[in-house]
Chain A
């Protein structure tokens, strides 16, 4: 059955900075949590006027008691303006959109996120809290702020492992993929879920292929419509030995590592 897509104006409960680089936006929603699959996104209209014109897609970071949240980083004009919205302001969203992660057996699964890519993996973490989630961040302050946020969002912390580029005794020093290598040395996994910068995901894919581990990646593309009508968000995939286009918004945003044509 096709799931319902909501399109409504929502009141902001909160919009605040998390650490030095991230923001958390919470809004009241009438979306029923049973219709949300981890990895799905919402398309936000940042302002009522025409600049920026297009909606901006954000992964559903969390849902709790009628409140949905997204975790974001300022990348440009749209996210900059988003960060200036205040509690009580209205924001208009369409969602949940996309399909989220493909069904899998929890068994030996591992999640790996690079930077703000982590936003796409937390809701999964909340539901299946036995999956280790490895996150690569640049700064220690972000790591500490993130741990506080997890506590507040009731996402179990003991399975979350953070790598920080900045050398500090509290955390593993290095990238998310460095941390991944240490995990793979210790345990045999059969599925890796990942979201982050494309180059990082490509590295994760190469590591996984060598060890014969299946993969699912949450991809990001600039989107026109977010719901599969404009054909603006294509990704090249291999399908039955042929190259085809798929839509990140409608067919994804999650794709298996084997089908993606890595560039």
Chain B
């Protein structure tokens, strides 16, 4: 089940998605996280962030809306307090980075790109929850291109760009990122979503929708991007079963990230690894690559 992204090899293509797995410690008390192909960390920003005030999550049919606002410990504390545990694991480590300015992203890429025990950086240009944050980069093509160019120049580490599905034509952004020489594209982050409180007639929550509800939407984007782009695509959005993970692989994704469903079923990633192994055995396939992109 091995796959490669840039120069990094991962033992399998089942990853935990950013923001849904912390820095691995909590899940390690429940499941054997060493079995995962990779863990994508919660977004790391240059300075610690306190995140958004008020209600941060709400449930929707088969989904949830979050507006966490990138709360995280910041680069220094990440390196001093979190990285040691992560590097002790036998799984791939991908650091999700976010910033408010191009320089912040570049600074993060320079520092993290030079550290041992990290296998890739995932640039989060797509968080819909921070007013000044990534979403601006993912809405303006020129800014986006400059950001990716600068981050690419800052590090030789495998670079993944995670796109927003709510910022315009996702394929256009994917092509721009490819042209700047990134190693892979994650399709995609959460979908911009809202709820209104009918009692007060005010917005109840506005944030990003995730969970099983978004699976068909994300799949449609993955199919479109994979058809038109030749660098690896990592699929994210609504995975909740072996079958949904397989659909992403068939569509052409080289790896998949499991997000919200980790909360619902903490061993979902392990179940999917097991299920895909069984699927391959039954179909007498020797490599996951025989499934990837098998959609005619």
Residue among B29, B57, B62 making CB contact with A222, cutoff 8 Å = B57
Tier of interface size on chain A? 20 to 34
Contact of B59 with A by CB under 8 A: yes
Question: In this complex, what residue of A is CB-closest to B72?
Answer: A231
Contact of B181 with A by CB under 8 A: no
Q: Which residues of B contact A245 (CB under 8 A)?
A: 50-51, 71
Verify B263–A55 contact, CB threshold 8 A: yes
- Between A45, A55, A226, A231, the greatest number of chain B beta carbons within 10 A of the residue's beta carbon is seen for A231
In A27-66, the 8 Å CB interface with B consists of 45, 50-55
Contact of B240 with A by CB under 8 A: yes
- Between A225, A244, A250, the greatest number of chain B beta carbons within 10 A of the residue's beta carbon is seen for A225
Kindly specify which of B16-24, B134-142, B250-258 makes contact with the partner chain.
B16-24
Query: Shortest Cβ distance from A202 into chain B, in angstroms?
Result: 18
Contact of A7 with B by CB under 8 A: yes
| C-alpha spacing A51/B266, complex, angstroms | 17
Query: Shortest Cβ distance from B112 into chain A, in angstroms?
Result: 20
Verify B58–A222 contact, CB threshold 8 A: yes
Query: Shortest Cβ distance from B19 into chain A, in angstroms?
Result: 7
Query: Shortest Cβ distance from B261 into chain A, in angstroms?
Result: 9
C-beta contact mask, B179-222 vs A, less than 8 Å → 1, else 0?
00000000000000000000000000000000111000000000
In A177-231, the 8 Å CB interface with B consists of 222-231
| C-alpha spacing A223/B263, complex, angstroms | 10
Q: Which residues of B contact A109 (CB under 8 A)?
A: none
Verify B51–A53 contact, CB threshold 8 A: no
| C-alpha spacing A222/B67, complex, angstroms | 13
Contact of B66 with A by CB under 8 A: yes
Q: Which residues of A contact B30 (CB under 8 A)?
A: 5, 7, 94, 227
Verify B66–A224 contact, CB threshold 8 A: yes
Verify B62–A51 contact, CB threshold 8 A: yes
In B57-83, the 8 Å CB interface with A consists of 57-64, 66, 68, 71
Q: Which residues of A contact B31 (CB under 8 A)?
A: 7
Query: Shortest Cβ distance from A102 into chain B, in angstroms?
Result: 21
Verify A234–B57 contact, CB threshold 8 A: no
| C-alpha spacing A74/B125, complex, angstroms | 41
Verify B26–A250 contact, CB threshold 8 A: yes
Q: Which residues of A contact B265 (CB under 8 A)?
A: 45, 92
Q: Which residues of A contact B267 (CB under 8 A)?
A: 7
Verify B29–A50 contact, CB threshold 8 A: no
C-beta contact mask, A126-163 vs B, less than 8 Å → 1, else 0?
00000000000000000000000000000000000000
Verify B55–A53 contact, CB threshold 8 A: no
Q: Which residues of B contact A52 (CB under 8 A)?
A: 59
Verify A53–B71 contact, CB threshold 8 A: no
Query: Shortest Cβ distance from A13 into chain B, in angstroms?
Result: 23
In the complex, number of A-B residue pairs with CB atoms less than 8 Å apart: 93
| C-alpha spacing A227/B27, complex, angstroms | 8
Query: Shortest Cβ distance from B184 into chain A, in angstroms?
Result: 24
Verify B211–A232 contact, CB threshold 8 A: no
Q: Which residues of B contact A222 (CB under 8 A)?
A: 55, 57-59
| C-alpha spacing A5/B26, complex, angstroms | 9
In A219-263, the 8 Å CB interface with B consists of 222-234, 244-245, 250
Verify B240–A50 contact, CB threshold 8 A: yes
Verify B50–A230 contact, CB threshold 8 A: no
Tier of interface size on chain B? 35 or more
Verify A227–B264 contact, CB threshold 8 A: no
Query: Shortest Cβ distance from B243 into chain A, in angstroms?
Result: 14
Q: Given the known A-B contacts A222-B57, A224-B66, are A229 and B264 also in contact in the complex, defined by CB atoms under 8 Å? A: no
Verify B266–A7 contact, CB threshold 8 A: yes
Q: Which residues of B contact A45 (CB under 8 A)?
A: 264-265
Q: Which residues of A contact B29 (CB under 8 A)?
A: 2, 4-5
In B1-44, the 8 Å CB interface with A consists of 19-22, 26-27, 29-31, 42
| C-alpha spacing A202/B157, complex, angstroms | 51
Verify B20–A229 contact, CB threshold 8 A: yes
Q: Given the known A-B contacts A224-B57, A224-B66, are A230 and B19 also in contact in the complex, defined by CB atoms under 8 Å? A: yes
Q: Given the known A-B contacts A2-B29, A245-B50, A245-B71, are A230 and B263 also in contact in the complex, defined by CB atoms under 8 Å? A: yes
- Between B26, B50, B58, B66, the greatest number of chain A beta carbons within 10 A of the residue's beta carbon is seen for B26
Verify B59–A94 contact, CB threshold 8 A: no
Q: Which residues of A contact B19 (CB under 8 A)?
A: 229-231
Query: Shortest Cβ distance from A229 into chain B, in angstroms?
Result: 4
| C-alpha spacing A55/B64, complex, angstroms | 12
Q: Given the known A-B contacts A7-B30, A224-B263, A227-B26, are A54 and B56 also in contact in the complex, defined by CB atoms under 8 Å? A: no
Interface residues of B (CB under 8 A from A): 19-22, 26-27, 29-31, 42, 50-51, 55-64, 66, 68, 71, 211-213, 240, 260, 262-267
> Could you list some 20 contacts between A and B, CB below 8 A?
A4-B29, A53-B63, A53-B64, A54-B263, A55-B263, A222-B58, A224-B57, A225-B262, A226-B263, A228-B22, A229-B20, A229-B22, A230-B20, A230-B66, A232-B57, A234-B51, A234-B56, A245-B50, A245-B71, A250-B26
Given contact pairs A50-B213, A225-B262, enumerate 14 new A-B contacts (beta carbons under 8 Å): A5-B30, A50-B61, A50-B62, A51-B61, A51-B62, A53-B264, A54-B264, A222-B59, A224-B57, A224-B260, A225-B20, A228-B22, A228-B26, A229-B20
